[in-house]
Chains A and B, each alone.
Chain A
Amino acid sequence: QQPVQSPQAVILREGEDAVINCSSSKALYSVHWYRQKHGEAPVFLMILLKGGEQKGHDKISASFNEKKQQSSLYLTASQLSYSGTYFCGGGNQFYFGTGTSLTVIP
């Protein structure tokens, strides 16, 4: 039942861009994105609502295709602070994705 994320892991150099994908086999009415640093709790990044409304902050953006039950997180001009594991979550399902480990190197 967990949404599936891809890629599982990615390594970037500072300033490079990345895309993380999230796909669910069940209908999604909203999608959440979180970042978790090692040894810490997940931190909410963004929520995408059915109908295209996006609620979030920071310089990270995302898209949500309700028909395909897919969401993508876009990180542009990555910074060292972007390193961590990213999780998507189906807002109405309470389940989290399998996670994507992102490492930004100098």
Chain B
Amino acid sequence: NAGVTQTPKFRVLKTGQSMTLLCAQDMNHEYMYWYRQDPGMGLRLIHYSVGEGTTAKGEVPDGYNVSRLKKQNFLLGLESAAPSQTSVYFCASSRDRVDGYTFGSGTRLTVV
């Protein structure tokens, strides 16, 4: 089925460890986004990309890095995980700036 796939779905990290979250979409969308969702905080934009090879900072980019080497993939990296990064991470994609977003199923990350 067409859509946005996130891996992994769950992960527990120790403080200071690193990891990469993978987002893949098969809809040929230009725009891709990473959000984090915390209780009572809604969805906050971490980084986004408007096309292959491009990335830009969102609302809460500190502690994260991203790459978009291929149009269909958008990677989110945590170089040194901190407990404050415990959250549910959602990837989304859209055809353009105006189009509605398709979200992945999310990654629940716990940093201990």
Contacts and interface: CB of A to CB of B under 8 A. Distances in A.
A97 B1 CA distance: 29
A87 B42 contact: yes
Contacts, number: 49
A92 B97 contact: yes
Q: How large is the interface on A (under 10, 10 to 19, 20 to 34, 35 or more residues)?
A: 20 to 34
Contacts of B101: 32, 34, 42, 44, 89
Nearest to A34: B101
Nearest to A49: B98
Given A1-B59, A42-B103, A44-B102, A87 B43 contact: yes
B105 to A, nearest CB: 5
Given A30-B98, A47-B98, A49-B98, A41 B105 contact: yes
Interface string A80-93: 00000001010110
23 contacts: A2-B44, A30-B98, A32-B101, A40-B105, A41-B103, A41-B104, A41-B105, A42-B43, A42-B90, A42-B103, A43-B103, A44-B100, A44-B102, A47-B99, A87-B42, A87-B43, A89-B101, A91-B98, A92-B98, A94-B48, A96-B44, A98-B42, A99-B42
